[in-house]
Amino acid sequence: MMKTAITFFCTIFVSLPVFAQSISKADAIEDINFLDKTIRAVHYNPFLFSSTSKYLKKVNQLKSSIPDSIDTKLFTLKLTEMTAVIGDAHTAPTIIQSIFKSDFRKPIFLPITFIADKKNKVYADGKSKSDIIPAGAEILSINGTSVQKFYQECALRSGGLQSYSNEIAIKMMGYNLYLSDIKAPFKIVYIYKNKKQIKTLSEGTILRNIIADVFPNLVNNPYSFRILKNKIGYLELNTLEGDYHPYLKFFDSCFTIIKEKHLKTIAIDIRKNTGGNSINADLLLGYFNSKKYTLTSGKYWKISRLYKNELIKHGDSSNIYLKQDDDSIWQTETCAPYDPKYISEEAFFKGKVYVITGPMTFSSANMLADGIKRFNLATLIGEPTGENTNDFGEGYRFLLPKSKISMSVSTSFDMGADCNEKTKHPVNPDKSIYTSYIDKIKGTDPVLLYILKEAE
């Protein structure tokens, strides 16, 4: 069983021609209509968490708000208002649009990354350019735009749980400011040590520098391993995307070292993991679990000619999906737990396993956490995941015909490991530890501190 990742990162540096920086109102409306038609054709149920009337109202509002000509970057943000109404975070414009790739290596992005408190106040986290704006400085405005208001507006443009929407909004602030054409020179108004200050930056930074920490998979850091204080094996798993061979090699190396060092505790961190191929989750479990389990108990999959054509286009001509009737719902159930799909006899770990979750734990990573919690395969620690255990998946990816904006629309609805289609909650950790904005400013990790203390 596979549940595709939140597919917004898949095409960041693909070579594509540069498209027009703006499109006409007629072309924008044609794209909106094309998106609406595609959503209705391939989505399992776009109105499961919303209503037809609410959705149509937003579509009509969006069309009427388009001026005679609209910048393509701003149009990308506008489309998120339409998809957010559905309440499905898998259905949206891809977060990083390849049509803007010519800008990605230009120093035009705000060189600051942010964190927010529960009152929606926004602070510099000090990770990107602490010498410019100190960590903990409250950011009031950038080029006259209220940062707090901008953050709140961005959080409303994402579907899914509010915790996930908030995280995506604060992590992608720099990119969303770029889409809003807020560019250098940057006039930043902030408060630090109770003193209001103003700083102007004549130049920004490249995109990589403002997403490297929050989306390490985008900068070729899908996973890493190190030993903490000579007593904990710390495996940071930032994605499940891709073929299983590299994962198998990585897991083998990690657990071989763990065995050689006689470590009794491991921590598997999936707080930055937005999903991928669940087969790689099964492989990971094979290094410390021998009990029966399941990561998902069923799928309701909308059968569409568009998705069939996509499978065939990519050479998947034997997929059983192709044998189903168009416009039907293909239902599969796998409620009974199964034996592990893989067990490593050479490097099997029998000690204490912690799996760390948070609001960015999503899609197949959410499934992994759900299966672990349901069948008590390890101790979940941290914060609730960013997605309900029953949620959408299997994204259909396409380009809008006029703007060439990249989109993803869900085609399936997946049930969690408890085999209850009425379940409506994220995966809650066994040990809840909240990382506050103060912790983030100080650069401390209360979850790892707790695990280190328990391992003494």
pLDDT at 18 over 90: no
Q: Mark 187-215 as b/e (b = at least 16 C-beta within 10 Å).
A: ebbbebeeeeeeeebeebbebebbbbebb
pLDDT score recorded for residue 95: 81
Rg (alpha carbons) of the chain, rounded to whole number? 22
pLDDT at 295 over 90: yes
- Does the domain formed by 107-205 have CATH 2.40.400.10? no
pLDDT score recorded for residue 5: 47
Tens of pLDDT, residues 94-134: 988 999 999 999 999 999 999 999 999 999 998 876 568 99
Closest CA to 274 of 13, 88, 8, 2: 8
Q: Where are the domains of the chain?
A: 1-101+215-456, 107-205
In contact, 232 and 266? CB cutoff 8 Å: yes
DSSP letter (8 states) at residue 427: P
pLDDT at 12 over 60: no
pLDDT score recorded for residue 20: 62
pLDDT at 14 over 80: no
Q: pTM of this prediction?
A: 0.93
Alpha-carbon span 264 to 455, nearest angstrom = 8
Give how far the C-alpha of residue 125 lies from the chain's centroid of Cα atoms, to the nearest Å: 20
pLDDT class of 3 with cuts at 50, 70, 90 = low
Tens of pLDDT, residues 77-89: 999 999 999 999 9
pLDDT at 217 over 90: no
Rounded to an integer, the average pLDDT of 307-331 is: 93
First to last CA, the chain: 39
Q: What is the DSSP string of 341-392?
A: S---SSS---SEEEEEE-TT--THHHHHHHHHHHTT-SEEEES--SSBSSEE
Average predicted confidence (pLDDT) for the chain: 92
pLDDT score recorded for residue 128: 72
In percent, the amount of the chain with pLDDT more than 70 equals 95
Alpha-carbon span 79 to 73, nearest angstrom = 10
Assigned CATH class of 1-101+215-456: alpha beta
| Helix H or strand E encompassing 205 | none
Q: What residues pair up with 381 in beta bridges, in sequence order?
A: 356, 431
pLDDT score recorded for residue 10: 42
Residue 309, both tokens: 């054509």
Question: 334 vs 329, which has greater pLDDT?
Answer: 329
pLDDT score recorded for residue 143: 97
CA distances from 50 to 56, 86, 209, 374 (A): 11, 6, 37, 28
Q: What residues pair up with 263 in beta bridges, in sequence order?
A: none
pLDDT class of 159 with cuts at 50, 70, 90 = confident
Alpha-carbon span 361 to 167, nearest angstrom = 11
pLDDT at 11 over 60: no
Closest CA to 404 of 68, 104, 20: 20
Residue 324, both tokens: 């189903």
pLDDT class of 19 with cuts at 50, 70, 90 = low
Least confident of 117-131, 250-264, 306-320, 365-379: 117-131
| Helix H or strand E encompassing 263 | none
